Amino acid sequence: MHHSEIRNSSTVFTTLETGSGEPVLFLHGFPDNHKTFAPMMETIGKKGFQCIAPVMRGYEPSTISHAHKLHVVDLVDDILGWMDDRRWNSVHLVGHNWGSVIAFAAGMYYPNRIKSITSLGVPLLRTYQDSFFWAPQQTIQSWYVVLFQIPFLAELTIRSNGFALVDYLWKDWSPGYSPNQDHLAEIKANFQNPGILSSALAYYRNLNDLFTESGRESILGILDSKITVPTQILYGLNDGCFHKNLFEHLLDEKDFPCGFRKIGFDHAGHFLHWEKREEVTKLILEWLEKNK
């Protein structure tokens, strides 16, 4: 495992990298960092795959962007830029949290460039409006999205009491799991850098942006498109971020015409790649091998 760099035009992104073979991009979410995938990358990298985990846009000082450059379509453009930088014709994508949302969108917009998708802990949001019927409690579980829309107050709340909200979200989203404290300390330290926390929150603040072209394109792409890329979705049955009914009842195989499987894990929550690392790593490897 080593640190490296990957470029999109003039912007340089820090990465973790290991292995050789077909490229696999690991996309992290919030509140997290790219090191969240390191243990599984070590295993997958020994099986004939080049594993790369970039620091997502806005999560390091060199990539802080204006909020209007942090729509889903802009983040998909980063993937294409990284592919051009490394001269990859196609890649596999593994995403968690926001990384899953971005992976889904890449599969929708550029299916000829994406070999496979693995989503960890996130359903396809195309049918999210139906959650009010199947999982009415999801409205309550999504309270943080409302908070994150409020400039200054959200940043102040997250920073208060030594970033206690970061601890709370990990524990609330993965009930019964004791997070790695060194990993959480790195996440909190990064959010202390000027501009990083606001950039990370811009992902949420752009969710309902109808006033910019990239905002409208992001929303319509998620709501109207199918994913014509082999896709697997792995989730925890105790997920406190996305209710299990969103996975059990709202995922339709017709939205994944090129191959689909979903697998739920007992006694696991949103951070299932930490809670069920060996099982999740094995399933990712199976999916990668199947869709070489």
C-alpha closest to that of 215 among 64, 58, 54, 67:
67
As assigned by CATH, the class of the 2-291 domain is alpha beta
Angle between helices 213-224 and 98-109 in degrees, nearest 10? 80
Asked whether residue 142 carries a pLDDT value surpassing 60, the answer given is yes
User: Percentage of residues in the chain with pLDDT exceeding 70?
Assistant: 91
Asked whether residue 66 carries a pLDDT value surpassing 80, the answer given is no
| Residue 274: predicted pLDDT | 98
| Residue 250: predicted pLDDT | 81
| Residue 70: predicted pLDDT | 86
Asked whether residue 135 carries a pLDDT value surpassing 70, the answer given is no
| Residue 65: predicted pLDDT | 80
pTM for the structure as a whole = 0.95
Q: Which two tokens stand for residue 179?
A: 């997070």
Sequence-ordered list of residues with C-beta below 8 angstroms from that of 281, at least 6 positions apart, any chain? 39, 40, 43, 44, 273
Average pLDDT over residues 245-264: 91
Q: What is the mean pLDDT of the chain?
A: 92
Q: Between the CA of residue 233 and those of 65, 103, 217, 271, 282, what are the distances in Å?
A: 30, 11, 24, 13, 14
Sequence-ordered list of residues with C-beta below 8 angstroms from that of 61, at least 6 positions apart, any chain? 193, 194, 195, 196
Contact assessment for residue 226 and residue 124, using Cβ atoms and an 8 Å cutoff: no
SS3 145: helix
